[in-house]
Amino acid sequence: MIISVVESHLAVWPLIGGTLSTGCLLIALWLLMSGFRRQETAHHEEEISSLETRVHQLAESLKETVQERDHLRYLTISLPGFTRRFTHLKRNENIGNILVEALRRSLQCKRALVYLQTKAGLTIAGSLGLQVPEKTPCCIKEGEGRAGWAAKVLVPMSQADFNRLPPFELAKILDTEPLAESFDAYVPLVFDGQALGVICISGPDLLDPHVKSMLSALANIASLAIEKQRSRIRENVDASLS
């Protein structure tokens, strides 16, 4: 009887061992599969992140392409059109109004004011989206206000540039400001080291290099047109005197 009990116990142990081995094998397989699933999930997430990055890069590239296209369109269509318009000016035609229209069409600016140099000083020659106060002088001197200061120093000035001026100088400029409203930038029209006028402009993104290049090109064309018109006037005066 004792022998049969011992034999039955000995028969159970292989069964228990086999069960434990199978259990350990299953646990090992489960851990291995979990590791594979984690690796697969991480790899999948990495692919999704990479895809999102590529889509973002593509969107930015398309955005830059559109900007480049608009810039090229301006250079190839608008700018030559404005050049022809400025170079075929009549003797008494108002350049200020033509320049304001060019600013509106090419840069979609919301507000603009053009001063042109006359014997009396810088005189308002054209405006856009601006209600000029009745008491506002139509003529200012170089150095008066922000527009007059840009004409005096002969360099474009933004609001940030004015804020960097010494407080005393800035206060002096603001004290002589002829307009209650301020603009984003003041761009002088310069020829041969002399101010022919000033463009005061607000609305377009002046930090955009394309906008800055367009505005600079337009100012250069307008400066040449103004000087050409003045040369014709001087020639006509000299001819009438001779």
Asked whether the predicted pLDDT for residue 72 surpasses 70, the reply is no
Do 179 and 145 meet the contact criterion of CB atoms below 8 Å apart?
Answer: yes
Report the C-alpha gap between 71 and 212 in whole angstroms: 11
Q: How confident is the model at residue 153 (pLDDT cuts 50, 70, 90)?
A: very high
Q: What is the DSSP letter of 120?
A: T
- What residues contact residue 11 under an 8 Å CB cut-off, 6+ apart? none
The predicted-structure confidence for 83-99, as pLDDT tens digits, reads as follows 776 767 666 678 888 88
Report the C-alpha gap between 164 and 25 in whole angstroms: 75
Report the C-alpha gap between 157 and 193 in whole angstroms: 17
Residue in 185, 131, 193 with CA at minimum distance from that of residue 162: 185
Q: Which two tokens stand for residue 67?
A: 């900007």
Asked whether the predicted pLDDT for residue 5 surpasses 60, the reply is no
Asked whether the predicted pLDDT for residue 71 surpasses 60, the reply is no
Q: Which two tokens stand for residue 78?
A: 């608008």
Average pLDDT over residues 164-176: 90
Report the C-alpha gap between 159 and 206 in whole angstroms: 11
Q: How far does CA 158 lie from the centroid of its chain?
A: 14
pTM, two decimals, is: 0.65
Residue in 222, 212, 225, 181 with CA at minimum distance from that of residue 107: 212
Q: What angle do CA 175, 177, 180 make, to 5 degrees?
A: 115
Centre a 10 Å sphere on the Cβ of residue 194 and count the other Cβ atoms it contains: 13
Asked whether the predicted pLDDT for residue 205 surpasses 60, the reply is yes
Centre a 10 Å sphere on the Cβ of residue 158 and count the other Cβ atoms it contains: 17
Q: How confident is the model at residue 230 (pLDDT cuts 50, 70, 90)?
A: confident
Backbone φ and ψ for 200, nearest 5 degrees, come out as -105, 125
Asked whether the predicted pLDDT for residue 147 surpasses 90, the reply is yes
The predicted-structure confidence for 80-136, as pLDDT tens digits, reads as follows 667 776 767 666 678 888 888 888 887 888 889 999 998 889 998 888 887 766 666
Do 113 and 179 meet the contact criterion of CB atoms below 8 Å apart?
Answer: yes
Q: Which fold has domain 92-241?
A: Beta-Lactamase (3.30.450)
Backbone φ and ψ for 139, nearest 5 degrees, come out as -135, 135
